[in-house]
Chains A and B, each alone.
Chain A
Amino acid sequence: MASGASPSSFRLNSVDRHGRQINPAVLAAAEAVSSRALDYGVNLLGDAAVVANTLEEVAATVSQLIARRDPPGEPAPIRNLPGYVFRAFVRQVKRLKNKELAVLDAAIAGQTPAQRLADPVRQLEMKILVEECLAQFDFMERDMCWRRLEGFTWDEIGPVHGLSGHAAEVRFLNAARAVKANLARSRKPLPRAAETAQNEESKLAIETDDEKRTT
């Protein structure tokens, strides 16, 4: 890893963390752009140590590339080595950032409902949504809501209000979506519904409905 205490400029090692040697010319080029690289990298990656490691890795890769192109008869060497190293560094930082976001997505998707609802912001969003729904639903939609959260299937709920199960489901979901759309228009934060957070009874009811639909 890089040594040196100053946050705006640092000395790089001549070997990256994978043990690959860095060509002295490339090392000098990397150190020449280290200040810009630090500014750019810390913005996206957050940690100066990670930025330094990344710059060393990029420098080692460029060194290998130069070594492969070095034999006589090959095209002319890179003309603007610092610029080349910096562009390679920017590409690598973007790659790392995308990888980090993908890992974050996977982590969010893999959270249990309890973990997701432990997030206070999410709790607030859900609270607003539930209260708005109950305030804006008409009598029938609210009654559907009571029954549904006790685990009634739509086929059980529909006939109570003189509807088919499907019609009841469509009516309720349309009403809920309308409330949610109104909230979105008023720029209140809304819940992301990527994953489920259900109690066992409503889950059971939904599964029962799904089974009926498939048969």
Chain B
Amino acid sequence: MSDLRELYQEVILDHNKSPHNFRELPDADRHAHGDNPLCGDVVTVYLRLDGDVLREVAFQGGGCAISQASASMMTDVVKGKTIEEARALVRMFRSLLTEEDGGPADPSELGKLAVFEGVKEYPMRVKCATLAWHTLAAALDHHDAADAVEAVGAHDAPAIVTTEE
């Protein structure tokens, strides 16, 4: 079962069990809500900015291990980055898993996030991994924190996503 272990690496399982920065930020400058309606994964990403820098990043949500671990590791990685650096990371992460944005990215540039490369082998699960990142991108683009942005990550999924019985 080596291939399953590549998908569910220890670090992913650890983040799923004990997600980092899993809380609401009441004083967030920006936040966005994302969901994958086909599978029910939901995530809300909160940002507190200090000028151009993401001073605090947190999330709340529920879903599969891939979606939760991805959100958790994302908050660790983008904390302290500038908005532009965070946007670049969003692009890089997405290109790790999809052919868009000039992918495939060099996993070494993504550091710890490279553990998600195994998701590529599971096309149905790509949208789980990218949901938090789409939601972060929506929060970064959204200047009015008053209402959440709907970000749907399902666009990354190939056309084989099924809903029907």
Do A and B share a complex? no
Q: B: which residues have CB within 8 A of A?
A: none
